[in-house]
Amino acid sequence: MEFNTLSRLIVISNRVQPPGAASSGAQGGLSVALAAALREYTGFWFGWSGESTEQFTGHINFERDDGVTTATIDLEDQDIEEYYNGYANRTLWPLFHDRVDLAEYERGFAGGYQRVNERFAETLRPLVEPDDAIWVQDYHLFPLGSELRKLGCENRIGLFLHIPWPARRVLSSLPMAEELVSTLFAYDVIGFHTDEWRDSFTEYVTQQLGAVLNDEGDISLGGRTIRAITCPIGIDTKEFVAMSQSETAKLSYRQMRESANNREMIVGVDRLDYSKGLEERFLGYERFLVEHPEERKEVFLLQIAPPSRETVETYQNIRTALEGLSGRINGAYADIDWVPIRYVNQGYRRDVLAGIYRAAKIGLVTPLRDGMNLVAKEYVAAQDPEDPGVLILSRFAGAAIQLKDAVLINPYSAEEMADAIASALRMDKPERIRRWRLLMDSVEKEDVVWWRQTFVDALMTDDRSDDSVDIA
């Protein structure tokens, strides 16, 4: 069954940031990608405003900005604590990033998560028209599809997971995991960034829940059939390339080069999150300084790490740890005219960042586990084609599957990271250009437009046999 190409697309995510927020530097890669996807469709982007209210009323605030309509609701403090800070970021986030040691299991979190998903469904339901396609984003909203079905929604509903899907053994440590994962069968299509995570999902639902995988790759459970697809997200490459040539980017490039004072710059840009491998990055860089004393004053690391989820204790801990580590390394190696690490805790506008990326000889992206990592792609897109820098990328980022021509490393090995930095600094121009061209081909081909089209096509095209399309 082909869906009417004029049907509206409703995108739902926990956080909704109007496109205008880009100018403040507040936007993450995901919200930039969603805004770009929505500009192509009629419809709207629904989610939490980021604000709190004393009493949840279901009032929806509609706004239109740069071709995108947003519809946002405020949540109560208790909702934010249990659903966002609690179940989403203290339970699911660590668990899905293989940090069972950091995952917290509290019934109150699970209850708040369910309540907010019901609130999302009840508020959204009256806005949904029969032909709309609904596209839910990420781990905050797993039960939303099932809540919408309970309210009689028979629309096509898809889910995209932007974080890894953990191994079955890891997920089994989550209380009520089976119940939570079963609700995902309310969706029609579920998207993952890599085959590994899609396969891990399939393994869990077939082995643990008894779902049946058919020859076409569709999965059935309890009268519902879903399709799990791999569809890695990209950046708005054309826009980012243009941004890297803007006046603002040129100015930030020049300022960065001047302040580098003929030294080579290594750059890292990450939300301050324990999944990003920032401690390992600092230690790998320190190892490089130890093993290459002759390079010490020839290079520096600029680490930009805006704080994230600040009320969650594990995020406070990583911040404290990084302050200690950067202080210790700077104390041990700095000289009166050189500091090895410039550690900055604020965010920058994307056009300013584009100039900074271009000024860096090395982009250092070392997550221990990461759904995709769009910084790696932005670093590639910002380079000067005639004299590009080198991307050093963790094997454990989803992006490593596409960006095979980066210098791929194991972030747990300080030695490997130190060697990679040394060889990237020595890499000759023809080799840098050769690698960059291959990386850029991927960033251009599988961009955000391709991602959105691939997912929405899968969502809107129902080629399953009729008896399997049983909307419960």
Q: How far is the CB of 327 from ligand G6P (least distance, A)?
A: 26
Question: Active-site residue 162, yes or no?
Answer: yes
* CA pair distance 285, 277, nearest whole angstrom: 12
**349 near ligand G6P, rule: CB under 6 A:** no
Q: How far is the CB of 434 from ligand G6P (least distance, A)?
A: 31
Of residues 389 and 411, the one with the C-beta less far from ligand G6P: 411
Of residues 139 and 282, the one with the C-beta less far from ligand G6P: 139
Q: How far is the CB of 140 from ligand G6P (least distance, A)?
A: 7
Of residues 92 and 121, the one with the C-beta less far from ligand G6P: 92
Of residues 162 and 350, the one with the C-beta less far from ligand G6P: 162
Please report, as residue ranges, which positions from 355 to 394 form the binding site for ligand G6P (by CB under 6 A): 371
Please report, as residue ranges, which positions from 160 to 189 form the binding site for ligand G6P (by CB under 6 A): 162-163
Q: How far is the CB of 269 from ligand G6P (least distance, A)?
A: 13
Sort strands 218-221 and 224-230 into parallel, antiparallel or unpaired: antiparallel
Please report, as residue ranges, which positions from 44 to 103 form the binding site for ligand G6P (by CB under 6 A): none
Of residues 28 and 111, the one with the C-beta less far from ligand G6P: 28
Give me 470's structure tokens.
């049983």
Task: Name the phi and psi angles at 75, rounded to 5.
Answer: -115, 155
Question: Active-site residue 66, yes or no?
Answer: no
Given 132, 138, 147, 188, the residue binding ligand G6P (CB under 6 A): 138
**308 near ligand G6P, rule: CB under 6 A:** yes
Please report, as residue ranges, which positions from 264 to 303 form the binding site for ligand G6P (by CB under 6 A): none
Catalytic hit among 74, 236, 370, 447: 370
Of residues 165 and 300, the one with the C-beta less far from ligand G6P: 165
CB-CB contact of 226 with 325 (8 Å): no
Look at the alpha carbons of 119, 120, 121, 125 in this order and tell me if their dihedral is positive or negative. Answer: positive
**307 near ligand G6P, rule: CB under 6 A:** no
Please report, as residue ranges, which positions from 9 to 28 form the binding site for ligand G6P (by CB under 6 A): 15, 28
Q: How far is the CB of 302 from ligand G6P (least distance, A)?
A: 21
HSE-up of 253 (CA within 13 Å, CB side)? 18
Of residues 191 and 371, the one with the C-beta less far from ligand G6P: 371
Q: How far is the CB of 438 from ligand G6P (least distance, A)?
A: 26
Please report, as residue ranges, which positions from 27 to 46 form the binding site for ligand G6P (by CB under 6 A): 28, 30
* CA pair distance 264, 182, nearest whole angstrom: 51
Residue count at the site for ligand G6P (CB under 6 A)?
Answer: 9
Sort strands 9-15 and 133-137 into parallel, antiparallel or unpaired: parallel
Cα–Cα distances in angstroms (integers) from residue 104 to residues 41, 139, 141, in the given order:
39, 16, 18
**Pick from 439, 431, 443: nearest CA to 391:** 439
* CA pair distance 81, 261, nearest whole angstrom: 46
Q: How far is the CB of 150 from ligand G6P (least distance, A)?
A: 24
Q: How far is the CB of 275 from ligand G6P (least distance, A)?
A: 9
Given 156, 224, 309, 361, the residue binding ligand G6P (CB under 6 A): 309
* CA pair distance 412, 32, nearest whole angstrom: 30
Sequence-distant (6+) residues with CB within 8 A of 186 are: 145, 146, 148, 149, 157, 224, 472
Catalytic hit among 162, 236, 351, 447: 162
CB-CB contact of 183 with 176 (8 Å): no
Of residues 89 and 182, the one with the C-beta less far from ligand G6P: 89
Give me 253's structure tokens.
């490039």
**Cβ-proximal residue to ligand G6P, closest one:** 162
Binding site for ligand G6P (CB under 6 A): 15, 28, 30, 138, 162-163, 308-309, 371
Give catalytic residue positions.
162, 370
